[in-house]
Amino acid sequence: MSDPNRRPAVVEVHEGGLTVRWSDKSPMHLPNYWLRDNCRCPKCRHPGNGQKLYEIVDLPADLAAIEAMVAPDASVKVLWSDGHRSEYAADWLNAHDLIPSARDARRPQVELWGKTIESALPVGEWPQMLQDPAKELAWLDRYTALGFGLLRNVPTLSGMVAEVGDHLGFVRVTNYGRLFDVISVPNPNNLANTSLGLGVHSDNPYRHPSPGVQLLHCLEAGAPGGDTLLVDGFHAAEILRKENPGAFALLSTVPMTFRFADDKAELEARQTLITADMDGVVTAVHFNNRSADWLDAPIDLAGRWYAAYRVFAQILKRPELELVFKLGPGDLVVMQNDRALHGRTAFDPNLGRRHLQGCYIDRDGIESRRRVLKRRTTNRTDAAA
Amino acid sequence: MSDPNRRPAVVEVHEGGLTVRWSDKSPMHLPNYWLRDNCRCPKCRHPGNGQKLYEIVDLPADLAAIEAMVAPDASVKVLWSDGHRSEYAADWLNAHDLIPSARDARRPQVELWGKTIESALPVGEWPQMLQDPAKELAWLDRYTALGFGLLRNVPTLSGMVAEVGDHLGFVRVTNYGRLFDVISVPNPNNLANTSLGLGVHSDNPYRHPSPGVQLLHCLEAGAPGGDTLLVDGFHAAEILRKENPGAFALLSTVPMTFRFADDKAELEARQTLITADMDGVVTAVHFNNRSADWLDAPIDLAGRWYAAYRVFAQILKRPELELVFKLGPGDLVVMQNDRALHGRTAFDPNLGRRHLQGCYIDRDGIESRRRVLKRRTTNRTDAAA
């Protein structure tokens, strides 16, 4: 990325916008409307919360910059055709460059992982995190980069998982309630309640929206087996893109219908297995063999989609992608549900009890908590900037 | 759509799948993997909950149909190359045809609306709905088609909005708490708490996920003004697609960054203003001038995106699209937040009190409730079908 300390040297006014020339001579083009809508003056944005105080249609249709200059503090000052004056700090301009390298550098720093992460698990000691926000922030940073994290020494009390959920974000209540138990029970209404092994999957893709983050807390682990499996869905998607771009394209455009029904609920949602943004960056992976209902797609795509589906499912089974570990009592795993796919090995419920409790939280709550902790620890005061 | 009573007449086995020829001679092509993955036998799907009991990679790579026949009951029976036998009922085949007209007919029946819906508002009497599931279902059907509905005679008790939310679905807790108050308060941290008018918008597009459904309950309406505005975002999007397809394409592919920050939270999400599925069907509209933060897009798209944004914002202001009504005490409006955009006219808090309470619920809960009520009233027993 470009030098974060570079400063505007010259600014030129064109018909469609401005061109800032940096001290290193590189140009930064700024379309008129884009630039004006980024004006941060107190007439344009509420000084307290940064919300906009005008509507986009309030601006004149023929809005143009009349004059622009680089001020002694290296900010860029603009006089607009409607008489409004805007000022853009050099740091702000630097942070909002639209050239491809600058846009790439702003993307979330995602670390793809596989089996070898066994030796560097993102572990946090829950009692210490509660005492020390810096420790919690460090754990949240690892969680954010990897899409999962482990907490140790979480008290083995029923309901504790929801307390942790409400600490990190906000528990999402569903037809399962505020939390759910994963134990062996007779007459299960969901395969997770049997002792069979389960291939890796995202939970509840039949919800609208599907859960953002899952927490699973181990209360008892007396039965042999029942190890937790985790696979980085983003990593698997990147492998698919590299090895089979056509399959990646199909799975990121053609949605599967997922479905779950019991006597109390009937849930249905359509989701692509892979979600990518306009720049091709993978932002979500939903994979759930059990609740995949049917594919409502044009006939010519339906056959090809299934071939792609099988290729992706096979990648997800590669041993080098699979993290295997055993949760012990007091361990709690936090998983970004649309990235860290989870499963378990089979276990024998007759040889000991196995009891997990789980809950869901939304992504925005835990993301917000990390930003607020970061702001506090760095004494940032520009909450609304 | 084709005759729902038609029956398979003949079935042919090809290399890639089957072709069913209906009694009306029209063909239905069924790719091998697609068809096999739809097998509903008790070995393939759990008879209780319909979840799949095998993984897609368990099926052989060279899976093919060996034999197929139309049985006397008009079901299609298939023998597969791995020895498995499947049976597909005529009704199931009819309901899952992949030809374009059948796929179109299966889409949710959305009714676009504008100002003229004033004379046919989707109103339900809350006390009667609580007594009579058929009345509740009728209201839910209207809500689903229109993206909003009104409830009358909801007791004007603080917290009642969340009770209604938990009846229709599950309240989503956020950093605002379980519910929020919309009243005039000094030093607001959000523009909704002032007496200014507000252009139509979706709530909280800076959340991840953004709220699916908003409930607003009127407790007091003493102040003149403060009328509720509603605009059908799906209708506006269809107008945009017709009048300016290039603008529709930009707004449905290039995401805006939305943001909100105060001392307790820092929320940020990227969303396209219009979401369309692979068939071009609009599935969501997010519009919020106030919390639109900035557009991180390639330079050549940034200027064009703003032109499209202005065109869409102008469509949303057309008087013929705008439903205006005044909520009185005991009225409660339920709005699909990614479709029914809401706003309000200005009011003078010095001339009387105005007090609304609101909460959010997720879309899956209310959608599930409607399906379960429908199942009960039609005595459907195929919950997991």
Smallest CA–CA distance, residue A191 to chain B, in Å, is: 8
A253 closest CB neighbour out of B57, B212, B278: B278
Residue B385's pLDDT is 35
B385 within domain boundaries? no
Task: For residue B209, give the nearest of A209, A295, A305 by CB distance.
Answer: A209
**Best to test chain B binding among A33, A168, A178 (most B CBs inside 10 Å):** A33
Does a structural domain hold residue A385? no
| Pairwise CB contact (< 8 Å): B299 & A31 | yes
Measured between CA atoms, how close is A329 to chain B, in angstroms?
29
- Tell me the C-alpha distance between A7 and A21, whole Å: 9
Instruction: Work out the average pLDDT over A105-110.
Output: 92
Q: What is the pLDDT of residues B271-309, one digit of tens each?
A: 999 999 999 999 999 999 999 999 999 999 999 999 999
Nearest to A303 among B34, B254, B309 (CB): B34
Q: SS3 for B143?
A: helix
Q: Answer yes or no: is B1 within a domain.
A: no
What is the span of the domain harbouring residue A66? 8-106
Q: Give the residue on A whose Cα is nearest the Cα of B191.
A: A51
Q: Which residues on chain B are in Cβ contact (under 8 Å) with A106?
A: 296
Q: Do A314 and B190 touch (CB under 8 A)?
A: no
In a domain, A331, yes or no: yes
Query: How many beta-carbon pairs below 8 A join chains A and B?
Result: 243
B289/A99 CB distance under 8 A: no
Nearest to A265 among B53, B59, B368 (CB): B368
> A253 contacts in B (CB within 8 Å)?
278
Neighbours of A82 (CB within 10 A): 13
Can you give the pLDDT at residue A190?
57
How sure is the predictor about B125, in pLDDT bands with cuts at 50, 70 and 90? very high
- Chain A segment 125-154 residues within 8 A of B by beta carbon are none
Nearest CA-CA distance, residue B1 and chain A, Å: 16
Looking at beta carbons, which residues of chain A come within 8 Å of B264? 372
Element (H, E) at B238: helix B233-243
Please check whether residue A84 touches B, CB under 8 A: no
Domain match, A347 and A212 both: yes
- With CB atoms and an 8 Å threshold, state whether B209 touches A278: no
- Which chain A residue's Cα is nearest to B267? A368
Q: CB contact, 8 Å: A298 with chain B?
A: yes
CA distance between the termini of chain A:
22
Domain presence at residue B302: yes
Report yes or no: B187 at the A interface, CB cutoff 8 Å. Answer: yes
Which band of pLDDT confidence, cut at 50, 70 and 90, is reported for residue A1? low
Number of alpha carbons in the 13 Å side-chain half-sphere of residue A377: 13
How many CB atoms within 10 Å of residue A77? 15
Query: What's the pLDDT score for residue B381?
Result: 46
Structure tokens at A121: 């698990």
The C-alpha atoms of residue B348 and residue A177 are separated, in whole angstroms, by: 42
pLDDT of residue B191: 59
Question: Are B36 and B83 within 8 A, CB to CB?
Answer: no
The answer on B18 and B62 residing in a single domain is yes
Q: How sure is the predictor about B43, in pLDDT bands with cuts at 50, 70 and 90?
A: very high
Place of tokens 């943004």: A277
8 A C-beta contact, residue A224 and residue A351: yes
| Mean model confidence pLDDT for chain A | 93
Per-residue confidence (pLDDT) for residue B5, from 0 to 100: 82
Rounded to a whole number of angstroms, the distance from the CA of A153 to the nearest CA of chain B is 27
Q: Are residues B95 and B203 in the same domain?
A: no
The pLDDT of residue A184 is above 90? no
pLDDT-derived band at B188, boundaries 50, 70, 90: low
Whether residue A49 and residue B364 make contact (CB cut-off 8 A), yes or no, is no
What is the ipTM score, two decimals? 0.94
Contact call for A306 and B106, based on CB within 8 A:
no
pLDDT band, residue B217 (cuts 50/70/90): very high
Mean pLDDT of B339-363: 91
What's the pLDDT score for residue B206? 97
- The DSSP result for B313-332, as a single string, is HHHTT-GGGEEEE-PPTT-E
Q: Which CATH number characterizes residue B43's domain?
A: 3.30.2020.30
Residues B104, B280 contacting (CB under 8 angstroms)? no
CA–CA distance, B3 with B52 (Å, rounded to integer): 30
pLDDT at B1: 56
Q: Are residues A64 and A140 in the same domain?
A: no
- The reply to whether B96 and B119 lie within a common domain is no
More confident residue, A232 or B4: A232
- CB contacts of B174 in chain A (<8 Å) are 170, 364-365
Domain boundary among A74, A106, A138: A106
Residue B307 forms part of a structural domain: yes
3-state secondary structure chain A: CCCCCCCEEEEEECCCEEEEEECCCCEEEEEHHHHHHCCCCCCCECCCCCCECCCHHHCCCCCCEEEEEECCCCCEEEEECCCCEEEECHHHHHHCCCCHHHHHHHCCCCCCCCHHHHHHCCEEEHHHHHHCHHHHHHHHHHHHHHCEEEEECCCCCCCHHHHHHHHHCCEECECCECCEEECCCCCCCCHHHCCCCEEEECCCCCCCCCCCEEEEEEEEECCCECCEEEEEHHHHHHHHHHHCHHHHHHHCCCCEEEEEECCCCEEEEEECCEEECCCCCEEEECCCCCCEEECCCCHHHHHHHHHHHHHHHHHCCCHHHEEEECCCCCCEEEEECCCEEEEECCECHHHCCEEEEEEEECHHHHHHHHHHHHHHHCCCCCCCC
What residue in B sits closest to A368 (Cα-Cα)? B266
Q: What percentage of chain B exceeds 70 in pLDDT?
A: 95
- The CA distance from B94 to the nearest CA of chain A, in Å, is 13
Residue A338, pLDDT above cutoff 90: yes
Q: Is residue A380 part of a domain?
A: no
Closest chain A C-alpha to B382 CA, distance in angstroms: 9
Please tell me whether residues A141 and A72 are part of one structural domain. no
Query: Contact B295/A34, CB-based, under 8 Å?
Result: yes
Q: Side chain identity at B17, as an amino acid letter?
A: G
Q: Which of residues 197-216 of B touch A (CB under 8 A)?
A: 199, 206-209, 212
Instruction: Mark whether B170 and B25 lie in a shared domain.
Output: no
Indicate the residue of A171, A173, A208 with minimum beta-carbon distance to B363: A208
Task: Assign residue A342 the CATH number of its domain.
Answer: 3.60.130.10
A177-216 exposure pattern, b = at least 16 Cβ within 10 A, e = fewer: ebbbbbbbeeebbbebbbbeebbbbbbbbbbbbbbbbbbb
What's the whole-number mean pLDDT along residues B210-235? 94
The answer to whether residues A80 and A123 belong to one domain is no
Q: Has residue B384 been placed in a domain? A: no
When pLDDT is averaged across residues B342-370 and rounded to a whole number, the result is 91
pTM of the model: 0.94
Q: Is the pLDDT of residue A236 over 90?
A: yes
Alpha-carbon distance B289 to B200, whole Å? 9
Q: Are A312 and A335 part of one and the same domain?
A: yes
Q: Which residue of chain A is at minimal alpha-carbon distance from B173?
A: A170
The residue that leads in pLDDT, A383 or A28, is A28
Whether A260 sits inside 8 A of B16 (CB atoms) is: no
- Boundary-marking domain end, from B53, B79, B106: B106
Q: Is the pLDDT of residue A63 over 50?
A: yes
Task: Give Cβ neighbours of residue A240 (< 8 Å, ≥ 6 apart).
Answer: A247, A248, A251, A274, A311, A312, A315
Asked whether B228 and B342 are in contact (CB, 8 A), the reply is yes
Co-location of A125 and A85 in the same domain: no
- Cα B104 to chain centroid distance, Å, stands at 17
Q: How far apart (Å, rounded) are the C-alpha atoms in residues B65 and B17?
A: 7
The DSSP bridge partners found for residue A30 are: A18
In whole angstroms, give the CA distance from residue A150 to residue A122: 6
Residues A103, B296: C-beta atoms closer than 8 Å? yes
Chain B neighbors of A291, CB-CB under 8 A: 51-52
Residue A235 shares a structural domain with residue A167: yes
Share of chain A above pLDDT 70, in %: 95
The helix (run of H) or strand (run of E) holding residue B216 is strand B213-221
Collapsed DSSP state (helix, strand, coil) of residue B217 = strand
Which backbone phi and psi does B156 adopt, to 5 degrees? -80, 65
Strands A274-276 and A354-361, bridge-based pairing: unpaired
pLDDT band at B195 (very low <50, low <70, confident <90, very high): confident
Q: How many domains, chain A? A: 2
Closest chain B residue to the Cα of A289, Cα to Cα = B55
Question: Which of A48, A71, A106 is the C-terminal boundary of a domain?
Answer: A106
Statement to judge: residues A198 and A252 lie in one domain: yes
Q: What is the mean pLDDT of residues A226-244?
A: 97
